[in-house]
Amino acid sequence: MITRRKKGLLNGFTIDDIGDDHLFTGLETPMKKDAFELSDTEKKDKIASLFSEIMDVMGLDLTDDSLKGTPKRVAKMYIDEIFSGLNPANKPKIALFDNKYQYNQMLVEKNITFYSNCEHHFVPIIGKAHVAYISSGKVIGLSKLNRIVQYYAKRPQVQERLTNQIAEELKAILNTEDVAVIIDAKHLCVSSRGVKDDTSATVTSYFGGKFNNQEKIVELQNTLNY
């Protein structure tokens, strides 16, 4: 018996049927088991070589002074910058502090700018994240909230997964369910190609614990609109 997977189907549809629609396969970023057997230097060398082939196939002249350094630049950018969040070694180290001020209301860090990349077309996702939590006895440095967002953004992503990954990380670190994450982003796979709609944006949210009621959601939304 031939399974749907063997036929190349996903939930009964082909890749062409799915087209530009996004698939959200799970909370974890899909990674190979041997993803970190190569060193970063080895990965850069291999990516540079492969990207040279792509450029060559496209008909670009790699002997041109403007282009000959491009494969190495792209490789360095992929590993050290825009996809650095794939490597657990780059995960931000988080220190917590006692809530000595006894501040028991929500704390909101809003308008955290991030740049990610759509895992379906490898083109940018540009947006802002709003993060909130209520202390269970510990507090986190404000800049660490930004760093957590950036860490999970710097990998091929789906916005729904990014939202949940940030929320689950904060819940684990702060030992509380009282966490909220809202992401408002523009996807260049929508605005620069495909339907080429430059005016639309995508909003995703996670409301946990005390945030998972209408009154608290309205309070959070009012805070974000200040």
Active-site position among 109, 121, 160, 168: 121
Contacts of 111 (CB under 8 A, 6+ apart): 128, 130
Does the annotation count 22 as an active-site position? no
Active-site position among 118, 130, 157, 169: 118
Does the annotation count 159 as an active-site position? yes
> In this structure, what are the phi and psi dihedrals at residue 140, rounded to the nearest 5 degrees?
-120, 145
Active-site position among 165, 169, 187, 214: 187
Does the annotation count 119 as an active-site position? yes
Residue burial 128-163, b: 16+ Cβ < 10 Å; e: rest: bbbbbbbbeeebbeeebbbebbbbbbbbbbbbbbbb
Active-site position among 157, 159, 165, 169: 159
Sign of CA dihedral 68, 71, 72, 74: positive
Radius of gyration of the chain, Cα coordinates, nearest whole angstrom = 21
Does the annotation count 168 as an active-site position? no
Does the annotation count 187 as an active-site position? yes
Does the annotation count 160 as an active-site position? no
Does the annotation count 221 as an active-site position? no
In whole angstroms, give the CA distance from residue 99 to residue 107. 12
Counting every residue written for the chain, the total comes to 226
Active-site position among 130, 150, 165, 189: 189
Q: Could you give the residue numbers annotated as active site?
A: 118-121, 159, 187, 189
